[in-house]
Structure 1
Amino acid sequence: MQQKAKAVVCREVNQPVVVEEILIDPPQRGEVMIKLAACGVCHSDLSATNGTIPFPTPVILGHEGAGVIIAVGDGVSEYKVGDHVVSSFVSMCGKCRYCQTGRPQLCDQAAKAATTLPDGSLRTRDATGKPLNIFSGCGVMAEYATLHVDNVVKIDQQMPLDKAALIGCGVMTGVGAAVNTAQVEPGSIAVVFGCGGVGLNAVQGCAIAGARMIVAVDTSDAKLEMARQFGATHVINSKNEENPVKSIIKLTEGGADYAFECVGLGEIAAQAYGVLGKGGKAVVVGVASPKDMTSIRTATLTFGEKTLTGSYFGSARPRQDFPRLIGLYRSHRLKLDELITRTYRIDEAPQAFADLSAGRNARGVILFD
């Protein structure tokens, strides 16, 4: 049965998002319809509205959602009505060479379904019947959404859905960068550049992994104070430093074992690489503009055996990692409640995006009635 719903839509780049009523078709083969309970307002959604990540408009935003399945399509056996699920903006076909080698975050199918379902079709239309694209195969900043089963992960029904939603992107991306991509070792030194939603999770990922020294770097004292709450042992406001790289090398007595760029700027990626000691690893987590460039001294790769790498979605294996993160939350080792700075009704979405752009929130979350 076709469903009407409110959704947050980007109609034009560099214009405020709009909330409008849309039409959602029922699930077809291999799909489920979800009644959303919550959706995080992620910086990647903002990047779609300002053109940093080029998406064809109009597009329904949202990829960090959690809710309850209300309908299943033909051929769906692993999910049923009533299941609680979290969206995964990376599809997991299970068949391509990346999925088969344990790297589903690089799934070939996901790359082909950036604005549609995996088969290239859409279940979403506006009030006039015109198709609406969906952000990263999800489009879950809406009261209802139809997703392919490859984009959902079932979770324990005892897990609060507003907290679970955060796992779908920001938490997985940040914690995973530390634990999965970098594989931070106990007793090591780590530096995190950028203390927004993803950066704070990189900080707590390093703490969970047992790093003995975690240096948080940002231009906001408020965010740096929050980084302390998430496990940072030292903080540096880079606005107050003539040369942040030199200051960090001095503080760490020779350089870090790991550094994380969580901003999305080539200049900051170069700084993250620059603070490494010998044998160190710099991980670029932030999503940069397609034209952005990073420059490093090539010889240092050889003589210092340093590594510069990327981390997409925290090198996630969603169906294993999402429950793992929930377990850490339940054991009070992973902070989720503290991430939510403010909640919004869907009609307040334009304000949520304005607050995100202004850097007011660690994470804003839209709650659906």
Structure 2
Amino acid sequence: MSRSKEVITCKAAICWGVGKAATVEEIQVEPPKATEVRVKMLCSSVCHTDISSLQGFPHNQFPLALGHEGIGVVESVGDEITNLKEGDLIIPTYIGECEECENCVSGKTNLCLTHPVRLNGLMPDNTSRLSVRGQTLYHVLSCATWSEYVVVDVNYLLKVDPTTNLAHASFISCGFSTGYGACWKEAAVETGSTVAVFGLGAVGLGAISAAKMMGASKIIGVDRNEMKKEKGEAFGMTHFINTNVSDKSASDLVKELTGMGVDYCIECTGVASMFTESVEATKMGTGKTIAVGIAAELVVPFGLLAIVFGRTLKGSVFGGIKAKSDLSIIAHKCQKQEFPLEELFTHEVPLVDINKAFELLKQLDCVKVVIKM
């Protein structure tokens, strides 16, 4: 019997305040409203932003239903939904794409004005479909993927092929696609150009994959974990720099390999000191750096001379990927197994052991932790 009009009680990972450990508790999930979809989550994964959310980023609203990467199946739809049905496999996204607003038609940005990034932890009508112990539950961005069920506005969902690998689809819902898009959409890397990628987590490996796809002649991975060398090479990296084994700066080490620096640098670490280094690693006058890593400190020191000498630093959300037109292309490549995404899958934990995921992320061999729902 359909439960489309019923409140569902299920388990979810939540946090009750800044710095507090996550707990797995029973929550209530309301039916979807007219333009909403209730989703049964099948697979989720952990991104660095999930760690930041425990510290009050991107908002300070608690209690907080955690998670933003994942894939699920449609459980029920609102009365006005015509493009999705029960049983469809979908990826929740944290940006929308109306294809009509000034930003969407400009071709200059993926940040839709009609369906913007949700930074207050609520649905577009500024309410929530989630509650715990009678209290409103907020989510990190457009939804909460570390929950057995969640309600998402239809404009933040992408339907994918039912044969898609669930874990791999979870990876492209944020991290991998962010890096991939940074090279593909934001930097628009040209054939024969040179690229440096700072930080070889899932985001950085996505950037390397796109650099290879775009025909870069030299793809330099920069990390302080020697174990990332093998991962980088699996995605197309041609050179590796371990910053832990040299007293020289990361930018100087990149220049030793290239002479004048790279054409493009993708900064994925979010480490404050690396912002200046990533810009200085590019060519004077023409170098371009795309910053996708979120720093622990939202205000960071920056060396002005790095920019004064003609280089460009550009910020990016979701790597410039549009939620429908671009992510669908990546999803198709994922379904056709065009990326070695199995290289990202290093650990798995059940939802009830969610705090173990945060411990696993500290291990040198950890890239992505999959949460089994």
**Is the TM value for this pair above 0.5?**
yes
Q: Distance in 1 between matches of 2:336 and 2:167?
A: 18
Query: Which of residues 117, 121, 124 is equivalent to 2:127?
Result: 121
Task: Tell me by how many angstroms 1:144 deviates.
Answer: 0.7
Q: Distance in 2 between matches of 1:342 and 1:327?
A: 24
Q: What SS does the aligned partner of 1:259 have?
A: strand
Q: What SS does the aligned partner of 2:20 have?
A: coil
Q: What SS does the aligned partner of 1:32 have?
A: strand
- 1:66 equivalenced with 2:50 (yes/no): no
User: What letter matches 2:127 in structure 1?
Assistant: S
Structure 1 residues 186 and 38, CA, compared in 2 at 3 Å: closer, same or farther?
A: same
- 1:277 equivalenced with 2:295 (yes/no): no
Provide the residue aligned with 1:362 in structure 2. 367
Q: How does 1:32-111 map to 2 (within 5 A)?
A: 32-51=37-56, 53-94=58-99, 96-102=101-107, 103-107=109-113, 109-111=115-117
- List structure 1 runs of 4+ shifted beyond 6 angstroms: none
Mean Cα deviation higher: 185-194 or 353-362: 353-362
Task: Tell me by how many angstroms 1:55 deviates.
Answer: 3.1
Provide the residue aligned with 2:267 in structure 1. 261
Q: Distance in 2 between matches of 1:359 and 1:216?
A: 16
Q: What SS does the aligned partner of 1:110 have?
A: coil
Mean Cα deviation higher: 328-337 or 224-233: 328-337
Provide the residue aligned with 2:3 in structure 1. none
Q: Distance in 2 between matches of 1:119 and 1:92?
A: 17
Question: Could you tell me the TM-score, scaled by structure 1's length?
Answer: 0.93
Do 1:198 and 1:262's aligned partners in 2 also have CA atoms closer than 8 Å? yes
Structure 1 residues 255 and 165, CA, compared in 2 at 3 Å: closer, same or farther?
A: same
Task: Tell me by how many angstroms 1:335 deviates.
Answer: 2.1
Q: What SS does the aligned partner of 2:141 have?
A: helix
Q: What SS does the aligned partner of 2:293 have?
A: coil
Provide the residue aligned with 2:32 in structure 1. 27
Provide the residue aligned with 2:165 in structure 1. 160
User: What letter matches 2:122 in structure 1?
Assistant: T
Q: What SS does the aligned partner of 2:152 have?
A: strand
Identity %: 31
Q: What SS does the aligned partner of 2:136 have?
A: coil
Provide the residue aligned with 1:317 in structure 2. 322
User: What letter matches 1:225 in structure 2?
Assistant: E
Q: How does 1:242-257 map to 2 (within 5 A)?
A: 242-243=247-248, 244-257=250-263
Q: Distance in 2 between matches of 1:274 and 1:84?
A: 43
Q: Distance in 2 between matches of 1:284 and 1:106?
A: 19
Q: What SS does the aligned partner of 1:318 have?
A: coil
Mean Cα deviation higher: 99-108 or 216-225: 99-108
Provide the residue aligned with 2:175 in structure 1. 170
Q: How does 1:220-239 map to 2 (within 5 A)?
A: 220-239=225-244
User: What letter matches 2:84 in structure 1?
Assistant: Y
Q: Deviations over 1:212-233 (max 9, x none)?
A: 1111111111123321222111
Q: What SS does the aligned partner of 2:237 have?
A: coil
Q: Distance in 2 between matches of 1:306 and 1:142?
A: 43
Q: Distance in 1 between matches of 2:229 and 2:342?
A: 18
Q: What SS does the aligned partner of 2:116 have?
A: helix
Structure 1 residues 144 and 211, CA, compared in 2 at 3 Å: closer, same or farther?
A: same
Q: Distance in 2 between matches of 1:260 and 1:253?
A: 18
Q: Deviations over 1:188-224 (max 9, x none)?
A: 1111111112111111121121111111111111123
Mean Cα deviation higher: 47-56 or 177-186: 47-56
Tell me how many residue pairs correspond in the alignment: 365
Task: Tell me by how many angstroms 1:334 deviates.
Answer: 1.5
Q: What SS does the aligned partner of 1:324 have?
A: helix
Q: Deviations over 1:1-35 (max 9, x none)?
A: 11111111121222221111110001001000111
User: What letter matches 1:57 in structure 2?
Assistant: F
Do 1:162 and 1:367's aligned partners in 2 also have CA atoms closer than 8 Å? no
Q: Deviations over 1:262-281 (max 9, x none)?
A: 01123101111011113111
Q: What SS does the aligned partner of 2:111 have?
A: helix
Mean Cα deviation higher: 288-297 or 20-29: 288-297
Do 1:46 and 1:357's aligned partners in 2 also have CA atoms closer than 8 Å? no
Q: Distance in 1 between matches of 2:57 and 2:143?
A: 19
Q: What SS does the aligned partner of 1:319 have?
A: coil
- 1:141 equivalenced with 2:146 (yes/no): yes
Structure with more helix by fraction: 1
Mean Cα deviation higher: 51-60 or 236-245: 51-60
Q: Distance in 2 between matches of 1:111 and 1:327?
A: 24
Q: Distance in 2 between matches of 1:154 and 1:62?
A: 19
Q: What SS does the aligned partner of 1:256 have?
A: coil
Q: What SS does the aligned partner of 1:270 have?
A: helix
